[in-house]
Amino acid sequence: MDTELGIVKTGKEADVFLIERAVPGDPAQRSILAAKRYRPPQLRDFHRSSQYEEGRRTRRSRDARAISNGSSYGRQLAAGHWAYAEFEALSRMHSLGAAVPYPVQVNGTELLMEFIGDGMTAAPRLAQSRDDPPQLAVLLDQVVDIMRMFARAGFAHGDLSPYNLLVHEGRVVAIDLPQIVDAVSNPSGLDLLHRDCVNIAHWFTRRRVYCDPEELFADLLTELYR
Ligand SMILES: Nc1ncnc2c1ncn2[C@@H]1O[C@H](COP(=O)(O)OP(=O)(O)OP(=O)(O)O)[C@@H](O)[C@H]1O
Ligand SMILES: [Mg+2]
């Protein structure tokens, strides 16, 4: 049985809730999960997502049409589509050993995953970190490890920033994966990979942990094509 304990954060495209999952009759078997519920996208945001979708195919052409014309049915479908895409991305990256939340299940527009945090308190985003350069340098190494794992599997995160990286007990965990892109077959793949590199390198460099975005990009390209 699942009980909603509260909201973690409302976002532009989804809201994240804290869920307690209990096994009836066995109070010891209780776990805390994060439920990410996608909202039907606003019409004005609707076409922005198309860049990520190139090369991906929706099986039923009636659904594809409904999604592309932005009807309310289409937007509902799109929300489910994002939840499913994120579940798949988490499953794939988790099985490869990348530091991402363990995906539990997907049901319509809701994705259930491991809650990253202490008790009921979510781990802070890297963006809120007040660490000094020596500690930040350790976190940068972990971010680069995550980016390398994505690249080795052929992917760019596609929306990587210090807001989509959590720091839990000194470990970096990447979240918010629905738009993960195939870096080679997607026509925007390398641009998105490059943008991830720039976002990360600039953020760390501003905090006196020097990181060259082009070197990082070159490093990931060798992972991608090896
Ligand atoms: N598995 C998780 N464990 C703990 N906290 C989480 C988890 N997933 C998401 N969160 C929290 O919820 C916030 C929003 O999650 P996420 O970035 O996946 O959604 P979003 O809709 O893209 O939000 P935003 O528009 O703010 O980027 C995260 O910044 C994080 O604080
Ligand atoms: Mg986010």
Q: What are phi and psi of 157, to 5 degrees?
A: -60, -50
Arithmetic mean of pLDDT, 139-143: 98
pLDDT for res 150: 98
212 is catalytic: no
| Cα distance between residue 106 and residue 24, in whole Å | 21
40-59: per-residue pLDDT in tens? 877 666 555 666 665 565 56
Nearest-5° angle of CA 81, CA 154, CA 33? 45
- Hey, which residues does 43 pair with through a beta bridge? none
For residue 63, pLDDT over 90 is answered with no
Average pLDDT score, the chain = 91
Choose between 70 and 179: higher pLDDT: 179
Pull the structure tokens for residue 74: 């289409």
- What is the set of domains in the chain, with CATH numbers? 2-118 (3.30.200.20), 122-224 (1.10.510.10)
100-116: per-residue pLDDT in tens? 999 999 999 999 999 99
pLDDT for res 26: 82
Q: Is the CB of 164 under 6 A from ligand 1?
A: yes
26 is catalytic: no
pLDDT for res 53: 63
Q: Is the CB of 94 under 6 A from ligand 1?
A: no
Per cent of the chain over pLDDT 70 is: 92
Per cent of the chain over pLDDT 90 is: 73
Q: Of 2, 45, 63, 176, which residue is the catalytic one? A: 176
pLDDT for res 46: 56
Residues 6+ apart with CB under 8 A from 68: 74
pLDDT for res 57: 58
Nearest residue by C-alpha to atom 24 in ligand 1:
11
Arithmetic mean of pLDDT, 10-22: 92
Centroid of ligand 1 to alpha carbon of 176 (angstroms): 6
**DSSP class per residue in 8-77:** EEE-SSEEEEEEEEEETTEEEEEEEEEEEEEPPPPGGGGGGGHHHHTT---S-HHHHHHHHHT-HHHHHH
Centroid of ligand 1 to alpha carbon of 98 (angstroms): 17
Q: From 34, 30, 3, 221, select the one nearest 122 (Cα to Cα).
A: 34
> Within 13 Å of residue 134, how many CA atoms lie on the same side as its CB?
0
pTM metric for this prediction: 0.91
